[in-house]
A and B are shown apart, each in its own frame.
Chain A
Amino acid sequence: MADKGPHQNYLGMWGWVWGGNYKLERYLYLLHRITGLGLLLFGLFHLTVTTIFRVQGEAIWSSTISFLDNPLFRVGEFLVVAAFSYHALNGLRLIIQELGFALGKPVPPIYPFTDAIRRKRAWTLVTLAAIMVLAVAFFIDFTVRGWG
Chain B
Amino acid sequence: MNNDAVKKITFRVQRFDPEKDRKPHFQEFTVPVKRGTTVMEGLLYIKENLDSSLAFRTSCRMGVCGSCGMLINEYPHLACHTQVEEFHSDKLTLKPLPNMAIIKDLVPKLDTLFEHHKSVKPYIIREDKEEMEKPTAGYLQKPQQLDEYLQFTYCIKCGLCIAACPTSASDKAFLGPQALGQAYRYCADSRDEGQDFRYAIVEKDHAVWNCHFAAACSEACPKGVDPALGIQLLRKGVAAKALGIKKTAAPATLATPPALAKPKIDVPEFTVEPK
Contact = CB atoms under 8 A, between A and B. Distances in A.
Contact of B20 (A2, A101, A103, A105): A2
Contact of B228 (A13, A99, A111, A116): A116
Interface residues of B, number: 60
Given A22-B216, A22-B219, A115-B215, A9 B239 contact: no
Chain A interface SS verdict (over half) = loop
A9 B218 contact: no
Contacts of A108: 147, 150-151
Given A3-B18, A99-B239, A115-B215, A10 B99 contact: yes
B38 to A, nearest CB: 16
A97 B149 CA distance: 19
Contacts, number: 158
Contact of A26 (B108, B215, B233): B215
Contacts of B228: 115-117
Given A7-B23, A100-B235, A117-B215, A105 B224 contact: no
B177 to A, nearest CB: 12
B66 interface: no
B215 A7 contact: no
Given A16-B166, A106-B150, A115-B229, A4 B108 contact: no
B136 to A, nearest CB: 30
B169 A14 contact: yes
B16 A113 contact: no
A105 B148 CA distance: 8
Contacts of A5: 18
* Range, interface on chain A: 35 or more
Interface stretch (B190-198, B206-214, B256-264): B206-214
A137 to B, nearest CB: 29
Interface in B85-122: 96-103, 108-109
B232 A103 contact: yes
A65 B3 CA distance: 72
Contacts of A113: 221, 223-224, 226
Contacts of B97: 9
Nearest to B237: A100
B75 interface: yes
B219 A99 contact: no
A20 B74 contact: yes
Contacts of A13: 169-170
A109 B216 contact: no
A35 B18 CA distance: 41
A21 B74 contact: yes
Contacts of B100: 9-10
A4 B73 CA distance: 28
A29 B75 contact: no
Contacts of B101: 6-9
A98 interface: yes
Given A11-B98, A115-B228, A23 B219 contact: yes
Nearest to B75: A21
A103 B215 CA distance: 12
Nearest to A116: B229
A141 to B, nearest CB: 34
Interface string B27-39: 0000000000000
Interface of A: 1-16, 20-23, 25-26, 28-30, 32-33, 94, 97-101, 103, 105-111, 113-118
5 contacts: A6-B102, A9-B96, A21-B75, A105-B147, A115-B229
The 9 closest A-B pairs by CB, nearest first: A15-B169, A100-B236, A109-B224, A113-B224, A29-B214, A6-B101, A115-B218, A11-B169, A116-B229
Given A15-B170, A106-B226, A117-B228, 9 more contacts: A2-B22, A9-B99, A11-B98, A20-B75, A25-B213, A99-B232, A101-B236, A106-B230, A116-B226
